[in-house]
Each structure stands twice: as C-alpha cells, then as structure tokens.
Structure 1
Amino acid sequence: MIPLIYHASYSKLALPATHQFPTTKYRYLYNYLLQQGIAKPSQFITPEKATAQYLSQLHCASYVDNFITGTIDARALRRIGFPWSEALVERTLYSVAGTALACDQAIKYGCAIHLSGGYHHAHHDFGSGYCIFNDLALAALNSLQNKNIDTVLIFDCDVHQGDGTATISQSIPQIISCSIHCQENFPARKQHSDYDIELARGTGDKAYLETVNQTLAYLIRLHKPDLIIYDAGVDIHNDDRLGHLAISDDGIYARDALVIQQAKSAEIPIACVIGGGYSKDTPQLNYRHSQLFIAAKAIWPITTNSTS
C-alpha cells in the first residue's frame, strides 16, 4: 500500500465563507478516500512540524520568524491571502513537513502521496497566492541529503506557474524545476523555471496530455533524476474557478496515470502532492483529487512495512 501523508490541521483554518481557498477540502478528501475504499486507515502517516531551522534553509530567517510569531506585517499577509492566526501557523508547519515526509517515503518505497502541498508561489522572503513556505523546493533540498539522491525534478502540473519554486531553486543546480501552466493566469509576472511550458487558455485533453507526456519523457532522458516531486493540481479542470484550461475528469486521471507510469517505468521514486483545486462543489473536487490516488494504486501497488 502506498504511504499517504495527512494531518488534521490542514482543514482547521477558519476562513470567511466568501474566501476562495477551500480549506476544508483536505479533511473531505481524507474521508472520501476512506469511504470509497480508495485508501485504508493504515496507509496514513502523520508528519511532525517543520522547524524554523528547516524553513530557513531556503527562506529568509526574519520572514520565517515574523510569520511564526505573528509579527508579519499586514501588507505581506495581503499578498499571501490569509489572515494570520495560530491555526494558520500550525497547518503551514505540518503541511511543509508533510511534503518532505512524502519524499522520504517515496525514496524508501517508490511512491508516496501528500494530501496537501504544492505551495509553489512562496519565494525566499515573501509568500504569495495562498503559499507561505515553498514545500516543494524545501523537500527537494532535504532529499538531496540522501546519499542516493543527486538530482531532483520538481514536475509542476498545477494550472498556475510555480514562480516561487523557479526563483528559490535557481541557485541549486541539483533541483530541476519544470512548470506546465496556463499562460493567461496568475501570477501575472512569470519567473524563469528551468523549463516553462505555457499553454493557451482553453487547452483541452489531447494537446495537454501530449505536452505532459513528451515533456516528462524528455526531462527523464536528459536529467535522469533520482526523485520526482509531482504537483498534481486539479485546477486544470474545465470547471475550476481559477483555472482557464479545459481538462476533463478523464483527462486528470490520464495525466496522473501517465506521470506515475513514466516514473515507475524509469524506476524513479515519485512523491506526489495534491496541489490546487478550487470549487465549491465538494463531491466534484474530491473526485478530481482522488484520481491521483486511484492512478497510483493501480500503477504502483507496493507494500510497505509501515503501512501493511
């Protein structure tokens, strides 16, 4: 069984009903996976909190301290998109650590999935777009401490460009950043990933899947990564409120299946995060995110000592 990473704090953030961030989706997805028989309780592993020392490897120490202590200024919070609270600090620290744990589990067992993560708009000294600390880049850096990991590929298929990942990992050649995103979408000012694949508004399943498939195959051949961190955002869906692409339910499953299959065929460990997905229709959002877990279960039916 594939290790799944989750913490209850992910959905314990109280936000106004009009807020666009679907903070309850993590708890709903956790319950949905169990109710539908997609996952078993024994598969879930709970992360510990990320420390300030861990965060400061890639983030400005004063920014880390100001956020954790609640002394961060109002302008910075507006850019992030959340009001400060102790609950926000809790979920942030657990979520950032969860992606690192998913990588550790993937390296050990081949595949792991985090029921959060993908905070790719977080830069060195500021947060943006609901992203406070960059879990993807931090997890990649942490994984490079493993003696068997020399190169990490961050393969970001969220509909928005991973601008924070692009800037924060530029000075680390062992981290390869690739973002496949909608060109006419947030952030307005794009940054330079190692590879940026920009898609036109309204791109559908066929063109999208061809792009993902060819891009990943090329990156695996060229860079021979020892670990892939895959951001499986479902905000590519044609009904997503913040998306602008035209990908169907079947397209989401096909994407997740081909990414996981390529990793497995190349014998590369893959750690997945669920990334973005913005819908008021909770059952539909659960269904979209669940495709990642269904695909992984079908393609990588591993058994681990910790979850058997």
Structure 2
Amino acid sequence: MRVAYSPIYRYRLPPKHRFPMEKYTLLPEQLLYEGTLSESQFFTAEPLTEEAILRTHTEAYWSKLRTNTLTAKETRAIGFPMRPELIARGRVIAQGTLDCARYARQDGVALNVAGGTHHAFADRGEGFCVFNDIAIAANELLHTGEISSALIVDLDVHQGNGSARIFANEPRVFTFSMHGARNYPVRKEKSDLDIGLPDGTGDAIYLDTLRGHLPGLLDGLRPDIVFYLSGVDVLATDKLGRLAMSLTGCRERDRYVLESCRDRRIPVAISMGGGYSERLATIIEGHANTYRVASSLFD
C-alpha cells in the first residue's frame, strides 16, 4: 500500500487564514508511530506537469495562477491569499493523486495524505481548492488510455461541485456525491448522482443510504478505478459539517467503500478531503481510521 506525502503539504498560511493544516504533519507521524505504515510505504510526487494541468484547467486560469495575477474576487472565492508556494504545493498534491491512481491499479489501493480538492472548477478555484486533483488524475488516465472509465465516490460533507461541473459532459466519469443538503456550496452543481442529507444525519441513516446506492453503481458501471474522497467533516464534532456521525460510523463508512471495491477487484485511489473538528486529535483519528481500514483490507 503506497501513500503520497511531501513536506510541502505542511505549508503554513497566515494565522487569520489558517485552518487545520497541522494534520498534514501529525497524520503521517501517528501512522508511523502506531505501525500502520512504514517509511518505505511513503513516496513524494514530483510537481504536476503543465500539460496535465491543462487537460483539466483552462489556459486562462493556469496563466493567472502561474503569474500570481488572480483578481481580488477570485482570491476571495478560493479563501486564502495566493502565493507561489501554495501553487507549488497544489501541483505536488495533484501529482500525488495521479501517482496514487497508478499505484492503486497495481496494488488495489493507494492513498494521498492530502487532496480531495473538489471545489476547483476548470476555470477557477473555490472553497480552499486551487487544482482539482481527482479530476486531473481521471483526465490524465483517460488521455493516456490507462483507463476507459472512472467513478468518483465523494463522501466529503460538501458537494463536489467543481468535479460535477468538470465532468458534466464526460460520460466516462461518473460523479457520485453524498453530502449535507444545506451545507456549502449554497448553489449546487448537478453530479451524475447527488444525495443531499439533512442536518443531523447520524451513523445509521448515513450508512443505510450509502449501502443502498454504492453496490448498484459499482456493479452497473464496472469502472476501471474508483476515486474515493474520504472527508471526515461528516463527524458530529465538525465545526462546518452539520451531520452527526461518530468516529465509529465514519470508520465503517470507509470499510464499506473499500470492501465493496476490493471484493469487485476495482482499484481505489483515496484523497483525504476535509475535517474541521474542534480538537485536532479527532481529525487525526478520523483520517487515521481510513489508513487502518485500508491496511487491514489490502495488506
């Protein structure tokens, strides 16, 4: 089981714009300390090529990122001040997800410590997302002929609006987003399958809903790969989530997705997505569970 990670993930924002970036340091340390992962399982990706960026994002948007000339309005939509170091970080994260997809096709599963930047559109960024890492990976693999179809299973609490728009006219990529109905973004895009959950949805209803839809998608589509966005902002403790899942329920969600893919021999590439619980330890535990489950099922 291979895991994408780089020190560049730990880029620190100015204090007033900071959200839980510390998890990118603490999560790998925790997984190594407890023995879930070994040093040899980590790899560092190179920066994503310009050619791969332009298979998903527009030339105009990439030019603004490259020259650091986004307008004030465009910068506000992303949510933090844009700097060259942040663009460099995004390129490494996106390449990490692409590399994970290739490792997953060999080994069954691979995980990126970051990623899940599903609010980035082809022509703009939103919601702390600059590049859409999963869209970039899917488009690159389709371009090279390594896959002919993909399924995005987006279980972050926020709808994957950027991914939905990017693949709106791409039948080879099916977008499935299960999210808080009243959460960000206020204006939803149309995924191939959207399931909006009411505020306060807990483990039982969440898991029953997932079990009612995922098998049919996997069996009906038979995708060459699944991209799984495993955000832990579905937890009841999350400051932005508005759902009511427990750590146990969130872990069972991961187990169900990964077992469903493994049993059908469909490779799965995982990006971490969001998590904004008050206690950093809760965020780390939620994300660490994804790795523990993957290790137990695929190693």
Question: 1:31 is matched with which residue: 8, 23, 29?
Answer: 29
Q: Which whole-Å CA distance do the structure 2 matches of 1:234 and 1:19 have between them?
A: 20
Q: Which whole-Å CA distance do the structure 2 matches of 1:206 and 1:128 have between them?
A: 31
- SS of 2:282's equivalent in the other structure is helix
- SS of 2:89's equivalent in the other structure is helix
Post-superposition Cα deviations, 1:149-176, rounded to whole Å, max 9, x if no partner, equal 2110000000000000000111211011
Give, as a single letter, the amino acid of the residue that structure 1 aligns with 2:240: L
Asked whether 1:6 is paired with 2:15, we answer no
Match of 1:272 in 2: 270
Q: Which whole-Å CA distance do the structure 2 matches of 1:177 and 1:75 have between them?
A: 28
Q: Which whole-Å CA distance do the structure 2 matches of 1:87 and 1:199 have between them?
A: 36
Following superposition, the deviation at residue 20 of structure 1 comes to 5.3
Match of 2:14 in 1: 15
Following superposition, the deviation at residue 19 of structure 1 comes to 3.1
Give, as a single letter, the amino acid of the residue that structure 2 aligns with 1:111: V
Gaps of 5+ in 2: none
- SS of 2:115's equivalent in the other structure is coil
Distance of aligned partners of 1:98 and 1:148 in 2 relative to their CA distance in 1, 3 Å threshold: closer
Give, as a single letter, the amino acid of the residue that structure 1 aligns with 2:44: T
Give, as a single letter, the amino acid of the residue that structure 1 aligns with 2:75: L
Question: 1:197 is matched with which residue: 186, 195, 198?
Answer: 195
Post-superposition Cα deviations, 1:192-230, rounded to whole Å, max 9, x if no partner, equal 000001101000001101111221101012111110000
Match of 2:164 in 1: 166
Post-superposition Cα deviations, 1:66-118, rounded to whole Å, max 9, x if no partner, equal 11221111111110001011221121111111111110110111110110111
Following superposition, the deviation at residue 280 of structure 1 comes to 4.1
Q: Is the 8 A contact 2:238 2:278 kept in 1?
A: no
Match of 1:306 in 2: none
Match of 1:150 in 2: 148
Give, as a single letter, the amino acid of the residue that structure 1 aligns with 2:54: S
Q: Which whole-Å CA distance do the structure 1 matches of 2:5 and 2:203 have between them?
A: 30
Q: Which whole-Å CA distance do the structure 2 matches of 1:147 and 1:54 have between them?
A: 14
Q: Which whole-Å CA distance do the structure 2 matches of 1:216 and 1:127 have between them?
A: 29
Give, as a single letter, the amino acid of the residue that structure 2 aligns with 1:273: S
TM-score where L is the length of structure 2: 0.97
Q: Which whole-Å CA distance do the structure 1 matches of 2:153 and 2:55 have between them?
A: 21
Match of 1:131 in 2: 129
| Higher share of residues assigned helix | 2
Match of 1:259 in 2: 257
Asked whether 1:113 is paired with 2:117, we answer no
The number of residue pairs the alignment matches comes to: 299
Question: 1:236 is matched with which residue: 205, 230, 234?
Answer: 234
Q: Which whole-Å CA distance do the structure 2 matches of 1:79 and 1:151 have between them?
A: 31
- SS of 2:51's equivalent in the other structure is helix
Match of 2:55 in 1: 57
Matches within 5 A, 1:80-119: 80-119=78-117
- SS of 1:113's equivalent in the other structure is strand
Q: Which whole-Å CA distance do the structure 2 matches of 1:213 and 1:261 have between them?
A: 12
Q: Percent identity?
A: 37
Q: Which whole-Å CA distance do the structure 2 matches of 1:54 and 1:290 have between them?
A: 30
Match of 1:298 in 2: 296
- SS of 2:17's equivalent in the other structure is coil
Q: Is the 8 A contact 1:12 1:24 kept in 2?
A: no
Give, as a single letter, the amino acid of the residue that structure 2 aligns with 1:198: G
* Between 30-39 and 236-245, the greater mean CA deviation after superposition: 30-39
Give, as a single letter, the amino acid of the residue that structure 2 aligns with 1:116: A
Following superposition, the deviation at residue 252 of structure 1 comes to 0.9
Asked whether 1:45 is paired with 2:43, we answer yes
Q: Is the 8 A contact 2:31 2:288 kept in 1?
A: yes
Q: Is the 8 A contact 2:20 2:280 kept in 1?
A: no
Q: Which whole-Å CA distance do the structure 1 matches of 2:278 and 2:85 have between them?
A: 22
- SS of 2:215's equivalent in the other structure is helix
Question: 2:77 is matched with which residue: 79, 86, 94?
Answer: 79
Following superposition, the deviation at residue 144 of structure 1 comes to 2.1
Asked whether 1:213 is paired with 2:211, we answer yes
Following superposition, the deviation at residue 148 of structure 1 comes to 5.2
Following superposition, the deviation at residue 147 of structure 1 comes to 4.3
Q: Which whole-Å CA distance do the structure 2 matches of 1:40 and 1:179 have between them?
A: 32
* Between 209-218 and 123-132, the greater mean CA deviation after superposition: 209-218
Following superposition, the deviation at residue 294 of structure 1 comes to 0.5
Q: Which whole-Å CA distance do the structure 1 matches of 2:57 and 2:146 have between them?
A: 25
